[in-house]
Amino acid sequence: MDFLRRKSINLDITHRCPLECLRCQRWSSFTRHGKKVPGEDLSTENFYKIVNHFEHINFCGQVSDPVHHPKFIEFLRILNKHEKSTNIHHATGYKKMEWYIEAFKAHPNALWWFGIDGLPKDSHKYRVNQDGQKLFDVMVEAKKHLIKTPRWQYIIFNYNENDIQEAQDLADEVGIPLLLLHSGRWFGEDDPLKPKNEGYSLNRHGKIGYIDGKKVTGS
């Protein structure tokens, strides 16, 4: 009964994503095996049903990136009109800056999380096909249009574990909170992406970082 009374929901609203993140469900369950990612776009009709029931919508990216739903900006306007809160997890950066500005203005109270794993110049080493510098620029631009300051989400890997302080300094410089995430999605102990520092690797997901000036530790 508690499940039926909950007022928030996590949605994967499409099947599209141009990235090939090397440990995400899209890659590990489908594309690495030569399989097409199944699914379809959530209809506006069904989205309204969700909005009428839930107070908070979290747009995730388990097998897709929400901005690649053809009606995503329309969805944001619907949420804004109905005064619903929302979080958006985004990593591709494949839209034009003009599109992003329109999306930010569609729901200024939305909280955007930008997945840039490492310094912008290196993030493509995990998020294959990502332009990290472009996405970083989009994140900085978002501050001009959003009421809630966007977040920089940084998963710790072998190639970026020694860049954390530099990333923190960069985040401080642009005034955006940095969230460091520990991952547990490793293909054994010899996984080339796994950090050498054992403290940055988990058997399950956790996090450590700074959000709104407060330290967040693993749980």
- Does pLDDT of 209 surpass 50? yes
pLDDT of residue 184: 84
- pLDDT tens readout for residues 63-101: 999 999 999 999 999 999 999 999 999 999 999 999 999
| The pLDDT value given to residue 200 | 85
- CA separation (Å) from 100 to 13, 38, 185? 18, 27, 30
pTM of the model: 0.90
Residue 205: per-residue pLDDT: 47
pLDDT in tens, 169-183: 999 999 999 999 988
pLDDT value at residue 211: 54
- Write the pLDDT tens digit of every residue in 114-173: 999 999 999 999 999 999 999 999 999 999 999 999 999 999 999 999 999 999 999 999
pLDDT at 202: 66
Q: What is the pLDDT of residue 74?
A: 98
Strands 206-211, 178-182: pairing is: antiparallel
Kindly list the structural domains of the chain, giving each domain's residue range(s) and its CATH number in brackets, ordered by start: 2-216 (3.20.20.70)
Q: Report how far apart, in Å, the C-alpha atoms of 103 and of each of 41, 97, 165 are.
A: 18, 10, 31
Dihedral angle over CA of 199, 20, 62, 71, nearest 10: 140
Q: Is the pLDDT of residue 208 over 70?
A: no
pLDDT tier at 204, thresholds 50, 70, 90? very low
Average pLDDT value for residue range 49-59: 97
